[in-house]
Structures are given as structure tokens and as C-alpha cells.
Amino acid sequence: MAHVAGTFRQVVTIYKRFRRWSESGVLEQTLDYIQKELLAETDVTVLSLDSTLVKVSPSAAGAVKKGKQSFGRTKGGTNTKISVIVANSTTLVGFHIAPGNFGD
């Protein structure tokens, strides 16, 4: 953030634009376009799937529910599962975030 603050005078403006683009779907559309362009240029012969569990802090588990929540209870506590599909070591095809008690 210090680099952004040194380059741009109005950091709040950057945050507001990012938030507007995120809420309106512009950011998601842009990232989808970039992802499709990368896949078009990549020789996809094998896709790999991997997932990991991320421990959720107790304060997040007790937070006020303001929408879809992606954490579940397992033997190890409250977790979130992040799954990714990749075409190679640098090309992400997609990802999914689910409650930790969901299977692959």
C-alpha cells in the first residue's frame, strides 16, 4: 500500500474504484477475459486438481452472517476448503471455495 500511496495521491479513489468494479462485476469480467486469453495461448493436455484446508479464526466463525459463508466444522475445528484446477505451473483454470467439511 505504501507503493500505491507514493505513486497515487488519492489512495481512497483507488479503493472506491476497486470496490465499485467488484460490486458491479467489472472486475470479475476482466479477470475472466484475461484467464480465457491465457488458456487460449496454453497447450492444455493435462489438468490438475488440488485442494487445501485453511483454518478459520474463531471470530470469523462467530461473525454476523451477511451473505454466503464458506466454512464448516471438522475434527480439526472450523475450516474453509480452497480447491484449484491448473493447466500448468503458471495457468490457473479455476478455483472453488467451500466449507471445510465438503469432499472434493
pLDDT digits (tens, 9 = 90+) for 55-92: 777 665 555 666 666 667 677 777 888 888 888 777 77
**Model-level pTM?**
0.49
Q: Treating both helix axes as pointing N-terminal to C-terminal, what angle do 11-24 and 26-40 enclose, rounded to 10 degrees?
A: 80
Label the pairing between strands 77-86 and 48-55: antiparallel
Give the contacts of 20 (CB within 8 A, at least 6 positions apart).
Answer: 26
Pairing assessment for the beta strands 72-74 and 48-55 based on DSSP bridges: unpaired
Kindly list the domain boundaries of the chain, sorted by start residue.
Answer: 1-41, 45-104
Average pLDDT over residues 33-43: 76
